[in-house]
Chains A and B, each alone.
Chain A
Amino acid sequence: MKILVADDSRVMRQIVIRTLRQAGYDDHDIVEAEDGRDAYEKVRSEGPDLVLSDWNMPNMTGLECLQALRGSGSTVPFGFVTSEGSAEMREKAADAGALFLIAKPFTADTFTEHLEGVLA
């Protein structure tokens, strides 16, 4: 199984990857993307089984990335890991086809709760 972690912060990508390991997903391949455009391209080239993406990123936001993926026919499971978790953003995420939205700060338990069904 392969997980694509998209965040413009290298530090936050490391924290997400560390939390994935703490949640027990330490045997998955991890691919990193540094913004939405990079994530879009790596979904095409790497074929991940799940995308965990920040929302607010330069060049292309996480939401724009998801919309572009769905527009191109990709059905890759996609979840947001973002510093904002308002009802409005959760609705936008769900409407665009996201499976979940994890608000920062998060814990390993939060990851387990959301990823259990996706990476069974």
Chain B
Amino acid sequence: MDFLDEIEATVPALRRYARALTRNADRADDLVQDCLERAIRKRNLFTPTGPVQAWLFRILINIWRNDLRFERRRGDQIPIDSLIAEPSVAPAQPGRIALSEMSRAIDRLPDDQREALLLVVLEGLSYHEAASALGIPDGTLMSRLGRARATLRMSTGTADEPRLRSIK
């Protein structure tokens, strides 16, 4: 089945994106499962004007936003995996951003900036695809991307020169 094959090919990317959004492996896979089930159920609503991939990201993001809205209303605390724990990650090399530092910086980004940045950087969507997956105009995507990068630069490097980390 063509459609299902296309979905299948996107699953690794969806898992990666969901992991980066949720920071929790089980929760990320739950999110992907919800997304796939909805996509399979609503396949007849999909009009192939664009790639299946962007449509799947859009579904996933909508479900994630709904979850967040619901949980924040209830005041739930979502456990964050210690997957980013130091030992599992290579120490920062000179001229690189320490991963633990980056990990914390990402967490502090506003949701909309995080969603946009990860779609572009991690998933390699074109600006137009990313904007349509987020349901926003291209210009809005660019300004979110710009703000995300400026914020991350503040927290991972100094204004005039990137902070160099020699050895951990």
> Is B a genuine binding partner of A?
no
Contact residues of B with A, CB < 8 Å?
none
